[in-house]
């Protein structure tokens, strides 16, 4: 992905499609009109079993929106963002316009570059501990986008979280509809441009995965659709910040996908608000890339300027 040589709108779209999404479902569409990019939720790609309300799909779109903003910054433009601009069209999640010119900072450039090599890494991490300065940078990254990243420090709380993860895994393993959905989104055909390749999923390590896991819960202020889109931006800023620091991340979404357990995760995080994702950070070995549908397949260009 080249950021410098391209038209900024094209660079923004190339960045947007690299966002993470549950089962790599890529639940987004884009409409481009001159200098304006609309980000639209693709309701057909919401995971009906794991994510019936579309909450995780909105997180994914939020991540795509942050990528748009960062790519525009890297191109020296100021992104002007309006979230959920239309009450009558709840699937229209954001409009981002190209504002004036302002040189990109080195940090903007570093985060924008990280979009292309960020990966979800489900493998076991090494025993190397994530240093305090990185932890603080991750917490700040979430705060910059209006969310709380709550690190689960003490062993007692980690053990409680483990119980919730195991319970969620058990419930999902016993749910044939859930299993069927996982199968549907497991890409066995290598030419498929969505879904998670079977080789990437693997068996996965067992909780707590690592000797010194850094586990954190991303918490949004409320659980409105708007806050979910904002939390997706916070999520992506955290993931990219970790990537620039050489830290690997994986998602542990199971307990937040089940309402009762999600409430328990919220109590455990012990800050006001709604838990959106649980993340595990550490030092890992390179994880393979997943594919994306091309920009042309998800973008509609309409006339005007």
Ligand X SMILES: Cc1cc2nc3c(=O)[nH]c(=O)nc-3n(C[C@H](O)[C@H](O)[C@H](O)COP(=O)(O)O)c2cc1C
- Catalog residues that contact ligand X under the rule CB under 6 A: 20-24, 56, 59-60, 119-120, 122, 196, 250-254, 277, 290
φ/ψ bin of 274: left (φ > 0), alpha (ψ from -120 to 50), beta (otherwise): beta
Q: Which two tokens stand for residue 15?
A: 């960045």
Smallest gap from residue 300 Cβ to ligand X (A): 23
Please state the closest distance from residue 40 (CB atom) to ligand X, in A. Answer: 17
Query: For ligand X, which is the closer residue by CB, 98 or 165?
Result: 165
What interhelical angle do 55-74 and 106-117 show, nearest 10?
Answer: 130
Q: Is 226 exposed, middle or buried (0-12, 13-18, 19+ CB in 10 A)?
A: middle
Question: Nearer to ligand X by C-beta: 30 or 251?
Answer: 251
- Helix, strand or coil for residue 259? helix
Q: Is the dihedral of CA 56, 62, 68, 69 positive or negative?
A: negative
* Residue (148 or 254) nearer to ligand X, CB: 254
Q: Tell the smallest beta-carbon distance from residue 10 to ligand X (Å).
A: 20
Report in angstroms how near the CB of residue 194 gets to ligand X at its nearest: 9
Contacts of 251 (CB under 8 A, 6+ apart): 20, 120, 277, 278, 279, 280
- For strands 214-220 and 148-151, give the pairing: antiparallel
The nearest distance, CB 50 to ligand X, in angstroms, is 8
- Residue 213 CB, shortest distance to ligand X, in Å, is 15
Number of residue whose CB is nearest ligand X? 20
CA distance 211 to 191: 37
Task: Taking each helix axis as running N to C, give the angle between helix 259-269 and helix 155-173, from 0 to 180 degrees, rounded to the nearest 10.
Answer: 170
CA nearest 280: which of 220, 233, 224, 214?
Answer: 214
C-beta of 54 vs 79, nearer to ligand X: 54
**With respect to ligand X, which residue has the nearer C-beta, 95 or 253?**
253
Minimum Å distance from CB 267 to ligand X?
20
C-beta closer to ligand X: residue 21 or 95: 21
Nearer to ligand X, 119 or 225 (CB): 119
């Amino acid at each position: 992905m080249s950021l410098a040589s391209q038209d900024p709108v094209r660079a923004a779209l190339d960045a947007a499609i690299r966002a993470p999404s549950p089962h790599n479902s890529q639940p987004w569409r884009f409409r481009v009109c001159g200098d304006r990019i609309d980000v639209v939720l693709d309701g057909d790609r919401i995971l009906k079993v794991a994510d019936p309300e579309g909450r995780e799909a909105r997180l994914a779109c939020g991540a795509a929106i942050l990528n748009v903003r960062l790519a525009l910054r890297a191109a020296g433009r100021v992104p002007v963002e309006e979230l959920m601009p239309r009450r009558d069209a709840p699937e229209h999640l954001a409009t981002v316009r190209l504002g004036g010119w302002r040189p990109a900072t080195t940090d903007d450039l570093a985060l924008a570059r990280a979009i292309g090599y960020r990966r979800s890494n489900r493998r076991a991490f090494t025993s190397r501990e994530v240093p305090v300065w990185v932890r603080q940078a991750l917490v700040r990254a979430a705060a910059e986008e209006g969310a709380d990243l709550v690190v689960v420090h003490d062993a007692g709380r980690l053990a409680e979280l483990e119980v919730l993860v195991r319970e969620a895994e058990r419930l999902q393993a016993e749910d044939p509809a859930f299993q069927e959905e996982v199968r549907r989104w497991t890409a066995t055909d290598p030419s498929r441009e969505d879904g998670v390749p079977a080789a990437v999923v693997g068996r996965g390590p067992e909780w707590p995965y690592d000797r010194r896991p850094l586990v954190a819960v991303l918490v949004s202020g409320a659980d409105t659709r708007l806050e979910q889109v904002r939390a997706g931006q916070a999520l992506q800023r955290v993931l990219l910040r970790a990537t620039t620091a050489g830290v690997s991340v994986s998602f542990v979404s199971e307990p937040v996908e089940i309402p009762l357990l999600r409430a328990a995760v919220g109590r455990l995080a012990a800050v006001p608000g709604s838990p959106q994702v649980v993340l595990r950070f550490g030092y890992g070995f390179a994880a393979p890339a997943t594919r994306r549908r091309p920009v042309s397949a998800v973008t509609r260009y309409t006339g005007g300027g």
